[in-house]
Amino acid sequence: MMPHDHHDHDHPAPPALPPAARRLLALRALLVEAGHLDPARLAEVLHVIDQRSPRLGALVVARAWTDPDFAERLRKDARTAIASIGIDPGPAPLVVLENTAEVHNVVVCTLCSCYPRALLGPPPDWYKSRAYRARVVRWPRAVLSEFGTSLPEQVAVRVHDSTADLRYLVIPERPAATTGWSVERLAGLVGRDAMIGVQRTLSV
């Protein structure tokens, strides 16, 4: 008898999960069974993570553009300033990096993938790639140009390696011709890549 001879009806097999997903599910089941993990708490945490997106960081940037007092507080203590406008800044100390006509900032974590998740959501895959992590500290201008950002010679690059306890948010320059715009409308101009620093110029 052939192995499949018993098939007298259709029952298509579900697609197999990748090995990493199977490991994750097995680990989760074990942790729940052993009482180390509460599934309800896990669902809550996942819900919080799902709420985070670059929109939050964009609101911080737009507020900094329009409110000099907030911008000053952001420079001194970013976490407290951000909490004061009703946005959860996350648990880690946060540093804002302001782009100027003379300086461009770009963020990487060469050791892993540290990222201001509270303000930007989960990092993009390229941010976690070995290529980005290894190359942006070695050839920052070349890597930026691969993202479509060509920096004039006179603009200095600051590469921030987020190796430890701090998180970084780049504040791009406010585009010209946005005078009088509301915070909401300005925030619509600010994307994730600009707040990581691989994009310099915002299009209006």
Partner 1 sequence: MIPELTPGTPVRIARRTPAGHVRVPGYAMGARGIVLSGYGPAEDPETLAYGVRGEPRRVYRVRVSMAELWPGDGTGENDALEIEIYDHWLAPLEGPHDAP
Shortest distance, position 153 Cβ to partner 1, whole Å: 7
* CB closer to partner 1 out of 39 and 93: 93
Three-state DSSP state, 74: helix
Q: What tokens does 117 get?
A: 């998740």
Shortest distance, position 103 Cβ to partner 1, whole Å: 8
Catalytic residue among 53, 112, 145, 150: 112
Sign of CA dihedral 198, 192, 196, 174: positive
129 labelled catalytic: no
Beta pairing class for 94-98 and 167-171: parallel
Which residues are at the interface with partner 1 (CB under 8 A)? Answer: 93, 95, 110-111, 137-141, 153, 156-166
> Which residues contact residue 53 at a Cβ distance below 8 angstroms, ignoring those fewer than 6 apart?
120, 121
CB 197 within 8 A of CB 141: no
* CB closer to partner 1 out of 22 and 138: 138
* CB closer to partner 1 out of 58 and 172: 172
Shortest distance, position 189 Cβ to partner 1, whole Å: 26
Residue 167 dihedral angles phi and psi, to the nearest 5°: -125, 155
114 labelled catalytic: yes
Give the residue numbers annotated as catalytic, written as ranges.
Answer: 109, 112-114
